[in-house]
Structure 1
């Protein structure tokens, strides 16, 4: 028997509203909240939240001696088109060498790793 259910997934960042706007551009949804805490309410009821973290240091990827801690896998139907959108929104490619894989790795504008994964 579960004693809890997963609420929001929260990313620390220097500018919550800007990072919420980046992910809204990729995922859709509605941006809500104040300056220190922003919710991105996604279709289907899920919430991706962004919390102000002064002095935020982005995780390193890949770096075996500095774990990335967590990353988001975003499922897409068109990997190339989704990549173009992500880059236009400010994503940075982290692993662009192998274009034959079904996923590609990026950093969001605050430096968090995420993958676009072909379904």
Structure 2
């Protein structure tokens, strides 16, 4: 018997929860809820309907360094897009403030690696 339910898909530590929540809400089509030290992104429809991403203020936050054994990523998020939409998705996330850190080797690999505005790695993967 489960002792509870999973409320958030994942919680990210960051220096500015509202800003990072806005990045992911705009990227994924969610809605920002709350303010201050804990902010969530909720989803009303689509594959993420009913799920939440949460962002928690962490004083002195030191972002992961990708790739690095000393400051490991600890986790990353994968977002799947159709191959024909990968370049457009990349333009969109870069416009929202992401940074490309590793390309897909001219299409030889099915993913590209980015850092969100707080330095957390995520991938756009070919669906």
TM-score, structure 1 normalization: 0.92
Deviation per residue, 1:65-116 (Å, 9 max, x gap): 3321011111122111110000000001111261312111000000000001
Gaps of 5+ in 2: none
1:83 maps onto 2:90 in alignment: yes
Counterpart secondary structure, 2:11: strand
User: Aligned in 2, Cα 1:95/1:49: closer, same or farther, shift over 3 Å?
Assistant: same
Q: Which position in structure 2 is the counterpart of 1:24? A: 25
Distance 2:4 2:68 in 1: 33
Distance 1:32 1:3 in 2: 26
Distance 1:65 1:15 in 2: 24
Counterparts of 1:42-81 in structure 2, within 5 Å, are: 42=43, 43=45, 44-77=49-82, 78-81=85-88
Q: Which position in structure 2 is the counterpart of 1:104? A: 112
Distance 2:5 2:105 in 1: 37
Distance 1:4 1:73 in 2: 26
TM-score, structure 2 normalization: 0.86
Q: What's the RMSD between the two structures over aligned residues? A: 1.4
